Amino acid sequence: MLGSQCLFVISKGLMMNAAASRKTALNAIHRQLGARMIEFVGWDMPVQYAGPLPEHLAVRTRAGIFDVSHMGEIEFRGPAALESIQHMTCNDASRLAVGQIQYSAITTPQGTFVDDILVHRMGENHLFCCVNASNQVKDYEWFKAHARPNTDVIDRSHDFCQIAVQGPRAIEILRPLTAIQITAMRYYWFSQGEFAGVNAIVSRTGYTGEDGFEIYVDPRHAEAVWMRIMESGRPHEIQPAGLAARNTLRLEAKMALYGNDIDDTTTVLEADLAWICRFDKGDFNGRQPLLKQREEGVKRRLVGFDMVERGIARDHYPILLDGKPAGFVTSGSPAPFLQKNIGLTYLPSDRCAPGTEFDVVIRDKPVKARVVPTPFYKRPKTA
């Protein structure tokens, strides 16, 4: 076993050799903490510290701290900045107040995904997008090619390290470290100000399904900020968490992963993201085909499933509907908090109802699965 037989499920093209990889400013800290490192889309990143199970559970019950500095940040300025964003993404950024954030997608003319992103409104015509690490270069090139004249598109990725602190204890851990009133900060809002003695952007966002914050700082301050958060988090037993836990957490919360659940072959409606598709905001790339798809009826949809029989569905495993090949699992893994095996896949729209049974082919054997409502996990409402 092991060696070349070992499949790593959270991404394509992973190797143990990180010689040519980029390093975040927190790389030395990960190694000091004894993290197991892997190459992830060209970055040398921690996949785990204590282990994917304890890290996942720590985020659900206490707090986890993640280095997500590999993510990209792209800024838009100029008199046509908002207009450009409106044209290139499907959600309505004009509804954002300054300080507000929305989940959105950069769409192709076919209404499929260039990337899924977070759009932050910094000013009337000043916006900032957080994009996937895997698409940082592609998105920047796309933005430059499709932005309206009089728009400055600036790749700020090198200027930021990003640290995510996620879990029910995140707010208690971070509050003493900042002058920013994070207790009052609403979910999907952000602020700029002093954090751990340095200038930072702090947003109440995350990719785990828990309450939490994402903190953007100058790379020169990243180590010091991480250490301050760890110190503040010690009495709360804050847990450094890596990419493996990041993946199982987002899957339980049914958050899409570009390259797996969404890509340039899946439309925003097929991906079950109609809520970010604002047809009434004006024209945008892909609006026409998406409108047509809505009128004619979406033919397939991304659904969540549980395994009914024993087995773990993994990314790319084939699925059978009525015994016939019907696609493949887009994301699949054990769900550590829910203690069951879950996944996402596309099914024909008339077969998407919860309770629909199909098979996942696991090592040549069909194993029963069942469509379930999503998200699989929803964080408990606090008083």
Partner 1 sequence: MYPKENLYSKDHEWIDVKGDIGAVGITDFAQHELGDVVYVDLPEVGDRFEQGDPFGSVESVKAVSEIFSPISGEVLEVNAALSDAPELINQSPHEKAWMIKMRIGNADELKSLLSAEDYEEYIKEQSSS
Q: How many CB atoms lie within 10 A of CB 339?
A: 7
d(CA 260, CA 285): 22
111-135 burial, b at 16+ Cβ within 10 Å, e below that, comes to bbbbbbbbbbbbeebbbbbbbbbbb
When the beta carbons of 304 and 332 are compared against partner 1, the nearer one is 332
Residue with tokens 């029910």: 168
When the beta carbons of 267 and 345 are compared against partner 1, the nearer one is 345
When the beta carbons of 113 and 377 are compared against partner 1, the nearer one is 377
Write down the least CB distance from residue 378 to partner 1, Å. 21
Write down the least CB distance from residue 313 to partner 1, Å. 11
The residue ranges that bind partner 1 (CB under 8 A) are: 1-3, 5-10, 47-48, 51-53, 56, 244, 247-248, 310-312, 314, 333-334, 336, 341, 363
d(CA 204, CA 259): 25
DSSP for 96-142, written as a single string: PPTTBEEEEEEE-TTSBEEEEEEEEEEETTEEEEEE-GGGHHHHHHH
Write down the least CB distance from residue 317 to partner 1, Å. 10
Write down the least CB distance from residue 308 to partner 1, Å. 15
Write down the least CB distance from residue 326 to partner 1, Å. 22
Element (H, E) at 371: strand 365-372
**For residues 112 and 266, is the Cβ–Cβ distance under 8 A?**
yes
When the beta carbons of 1 and 97 are compared against partner 1, the nearer one is 1
When the beta carbons of 30 and 301 are compared against partner 1, the nearer one is 30
When the beta carbons of 158 and 363 are compared against partner 1, the nearer one is 363
- Structure-token pair, residue 188: 């999907």
d(CA 106, CA 1): 41
Write down the least CB distance from residue 47 to partner 1, Å. 7
